[in-house]
Amino acid sequence: MNIRILKDKIAGRTMLVLTLVSILLAVLVAWGLFYRSLPLLENYSLTDLLTSSAWKPEKGEFGFLGFIMGTLWVTAIAIILALPLCLLVSIYLSEYAHPRLRKLIVPVVDLLSGIPPVLFGVWGVLFIIPLIQDHIAPSFVDNSAGYSVLAGGIVLAIMIFPLLITLFLEVFSTVPRDMLNASLSLGATPWQTVKKVLLKKAMPGMIASTVLAISRAFGETIAVLMVCGGNVPGIPHSVFDSGYPLPVLIANNFGETFSVPLYDSALLFAALLLFVIIFIFNAVSRIILARVKRKIE
Amino acid sequence: MKVKGRNIEERFFKILMIISALIVVGSFFLIVGTIVVKGAPAMSWDLITKVPSGGFFLGGEGGVLNAIIGSFYIAAGSSLLALLISLPVVIYINTYLRKRSWLGNLTRMGYDVLFGIPSIVYGAFGFTLMMYLGMRASLLGGIIAVTLLVIPIMIRTMDEVIRTVPNELYEATFSLGATRLETAWVILKQVAPGIMTAILLAFGRGIGDVASVMFTAGFSDNIPTSMEDPTATLPLAIFNQLSSPYEGVRAKAYASALILTIFVLIISVLARLLSKKFSKNKV
């Protein structure tokens, strides 16, 4: 056999194996986390773990509700703040802005996406915390140190700006130009066209993009840890309460507390919970986005 | 009357859009500006040329050189390792497989999903894996965890770039009698700047991430000399300094944050310039 063809075949087989192995990585991560959570799952029922908020590992009480609620609070605040802003910016960039202005704004959004989480945390501590403590909180509550789910939500909102804007722009670009032009030529104003044509056609892709942004916010750790002030587990009752989201639970305690029975198992269960939720969210929204894209191809 | 109403609506939303754009663009400059203003006064040569002395976190002398070097080691090591794994995968799904093969689509979909998995999960998994293998927090552990984190970024970025290569180039090389492997080299030469972009993006992500290295790389006041040494990283150093009750140590955290900001901005701008160069060469 020709040596070139042999080389081609050998390289092909090697790369196929590598591709398959690397895809199995996801399975390996899931299995590893599940295997280490088993001791906890064997001793407690899943419903108890997810619906109790009593967290006293040394007494054998593992209730994740407080952490789940912490995650939901910061994520909800982040999405409520970021969604309308990013939607408006994306519509502006895709339908209104002059190409030159677009070329100025998009790179800034890209640069924002390159800023590491820890710098968002530092900025949150320097800027958002004093802002909440001195200016926002006093008009609503008597006493707030500033470290709160609101601070976490604001920082997270800015962190997901680039993701949301990039995805929205991508989705908008799949809407056929002819359709928008048809609407405009019938006398609709640009905003009416956006409302009645663009947003309607782009809806599935926009929902998928939002779900992706939610899952990004779910897993963010260090920035949230720096500004949420979560030291005591508990369910937040207002935006000015401190919060203790799931990733923070892992970051704060992992690697130190293996003398307490089942503690490490509980922390890896928290990681498994994050993995499963985010995996499902991502898979569903990526499939929807791929469908949206394929339609125009 | 109706026409007037819709014109008001038009103007109202346009103003809202401009305000939103200002907020988004402004937030970037506000973040960088805050860090520059707070970090610049505390900046010193000592900070970037010395390792921490005893009692650094209690306000002692020294700098964060250990963390700067540690971060570079981890980011460079994991980018290299990730490249060795990603490149074959990307070549395989693009030159060996057909355009709409199920394996190619599954791989792309899989890495899109893995791209969304948060770094804390990779960190926790990496640490579990290390305990299973009997390893301790070390440079190697950090590199492995960050490699898991950046492989999806690399594969997806390189794949996007390679997919812009026109079909004619494949057909031309195949018709000259080249094998698939030889074709892959031609394609790689064509997209070389795009591959550099992917490496830079991975490097930037690796240098800035905390959650994946906080358990796997550990922390140390010394510059690592072997793969088994625990290794400090710049983001973790910033985080540790910021938790200090001493104002002087916190000021050093701001200055360290400024160093990290400069690094990531240089990397991001380089990556962008390269990808621009790439799009200019488009056939």
Query: Which among A20, A118, A192, A278 is the top mutation candidate for probing chain B, defined by the most B β-carbons within 10 Å of its own β-carbon?
Result: A118
Distant-in-sequence, close-in-space partners of A69: CB < 8 Å, separation ≥ 6: A53, A235, A236
The confidence score (pLDDT) of residue A1 equals: 63
Q: Check whether residue B8 and residue B143 sit in a common domain.
A: no
The confidence score (pLDDT) of residue A23 equals: 83
Q: Show residues of chain A in contact with B214, CB under 8 Å.
A: 251, 255
Q: Check whether residue B28 and residue B117 sit in a common domain.
A: no
Q: Check whether residue A37 and residue A156 sit in a common domain.
A: no
A:254-273 residues touching chain B, CB 8 A cutoff: 254-255, 267-268, 271
The confidence score (pLDDT) of residue B269 equals: 92
Domain that holds residue A14: 3-43
Put simply, the answer to whether B118 touches A29 (Cβ < 8 Å) is no
Q: Check whether residue B95 and residue B208 sit in a common domain.
A: yes
Q: Check whether residue A31 and residue A100 sit in a common domain.
A: no
Q: Check whether residue A152 and residue A264 sit in a common domain.
A: yes
The pLDDT tens digits along chain A (297 residues) read 688 888 888 888 888 888 888 888 888 889 999 998 998 888 888 888 888 888 888 788 888 998 999 899 999 999 999 999 999 999 999 999 999 999 999 999 999 999 999 999 999 999 999 998 888 877 787 777 778 899 999 999 999 999 999 999 999 999 988 999 999 999 888 899 998 999 999 999 999 999 999 999 998 988 998 888 767 777 888 888 888 888 888 888 876 656 777 888 888 999 999 999 999 999 999 999 888 887 766
The confidence score (pLDDT) of residue A82 equals: 96
Q: Check whether residue A266 and residue A241 sit in a common domain.
A: yes
Q: Check whether residue A95 and residue A239 sit in a common domain.
A: yes
Q: Show residues of chain B in contact with A18, CB under 8 Å.
A: 85, 88-89, 92
> How does residue B152 score in pLDDT terms, banded at 50, 70 and 90?
very high
Mean pLDDT throughout B187-202? 90
Tell me the CATH number at B123.
1.10.3720.10
Q: Check whether residue B25 and residue B148 sit in a common domain.
A: no
Q: Check whether residue A116 and residue A38 sit in a common domain.
A: no
Q: Check whether residue B189 and residue B165 sit in a common domain.
A: yes
A:101-120 residues touching chain B, CB 8 A cutoff: 105, 107-112, 114-120
Q: Show residues of chain B in contact with A84, CB under 8 Å.
A: 20
Domain that holds residue B26: 2-42
Tell me how many domains chain B contains. Answer: 2
Q: Check whether residue A167 and residue A208 sit in a common domain.
A: yes
Tell me the CATH number at A172.
1.10.3720.10
The confidence score (pLDDT) of residue B194 equals: 87
Tell me how many domains chain A contains. Answer: 2
Q: Mind listing the pLDDT tens digit for each residue in B226-242?
A: 888 888 899 999 998 88
